[in-house]
Structure 1
Amino acid sequence: MKHEPEKIRESIGIVFQELTLDRDMTVKEILEYHGRLYSMSKAERQERIEELVSLVELEGKKDTLTRHLSGGMKRRLEIARGLMTQPKVLFLDEPTIGLDPQTRIRIWDYLRDINHQGTTIFLTTHYMDEADQLSDRISIIDHGKIVITGRSWELKNTLGQDLIYLETSDNWEAAELLKDLDSVKGIREKTKGIVVMVNVDGTYLLPEVMDRLRSRGIKIKAVNLKKPSMDDVFVHYTGRELRDSGAEKGAVVIPRSRGR
């Protein structure tokens, strides 16, 4: 393949974070032009355009200028263009950023369909639920470096079976009291409290935790028990809340490629 750069380019599709559509071209013209760039025959272009506008539900918009499309439609057209040459590998840079929940879910469905047809997808996102829903493997990137990689359930399990969030009258003392419990995997600070990562069902451990704190005169202001999420994983390994995330970090999602 290294001696056939044209074939390599044809096997790769890319959808940028920023929209790159020509405002003065129609949906059909955008796809037609892209096909011509890759030397697709007229018959191939026509067949592929029909397939793609159906896939992204833009059949009724083929002759519409892109300037008149909604944000979700433009994003779907970007994905269709990236798929024009039937790439074996598709790179997506935050394809659902700024979209409403319904459109995001619809695009997720498109990506699953594409993946089921055999396309390997590399996707960057700051939406941890998106990474959780779509990924086969996830890499969390912080300041340009991969800090951990694994399947969603593997990454969550690194935090323990359950998470107990506590706000107390003395969070530092509470952490000191709880850190030596056999079932405690680790403790980290949060904005107003602490998060206790435990290796057992938290519902059974919680009474012991509360009794231990009360016995030392520590008042419990708030308590919450939940399963680890990808948001928790992200914050744990980057040390920052998602709202502080910048362009230098995110999650690289690699959905499984299934044979054609």
Structure 2
Amino acid sequence: MSLYTLQSIMIPLSAAKHNQVLSLLSSGLSSRDIKHQNGVSKSTVSEVAREYEPDKENHPGGHPQKLTPMDKRAKFVTVQNIRNVLKDDNIKTYPKKKRPYLSPKHRKARLTFALKCENWILEHWKCALWLDEIKINWFGSDGHKYVWKNKGGPLQEKDVESTVKFGGGHIMVWGCMEWNGVRIFCDVEGKMDANLYVSILEEYMLESIKELQIPEEKVIFQQDNGPKCTSKLASNWF
């Protein structure tokens, strides 16, 4: 079979056609209308238009904006209109970060603490004693665990988080630390309420203060805002 290479030969536009296209362009007709009237292609019309107005900016394309600057400040617009305006201002959506809830009272307390410690020097921080408790599980963790594996691959032992009835139990530990490291730790038996908290302070925290070799009046206690810490009993003890 013989193969022939077909080449399209562009026929130059006649002067008459060229002038007709220019006339129609100046009258405001679109490239599509000129194409239908003169039988020339849209690309040819575009070429003539570029010769006619070389400095004219090309239309960016797309649907023209529905909202005027005044509309953007109005209340009654569609959700999609709002998305488009935000997108035009380079505003994107991001997932919210999860953080502990801060009430106005919490925010005020944090700001007060930050302003109070703003001009602290190293000697102030060396006098700080940090108090807290933590739950330690005997088996497993309360958090999520992840594993890397091929999609659709067989289930292996490393892919499984074993569980036991009732969670396997846990212990609660109270402790304190300061500039030089960790101080006394103790087991917390039962529910940590204000009475138990104060008894731990009397028995273990006072002993930790003695190890600091810092006068009690200079020690700066740092604890969370849990109910037991802010209770009247604990506040009066301090």
Same fold (TM over 0.5): no
Higher percent of residues as strand: 1
Q: Whose relative contact order is higher, 1 or 2, with alpha carbons under 8 Å and at least 6 apart?
A: 1
If the length of structure 1 is used for normalisation, what is the TM-score? 0.19
Of structures 1 and 2, the larger Rg is shown by 2
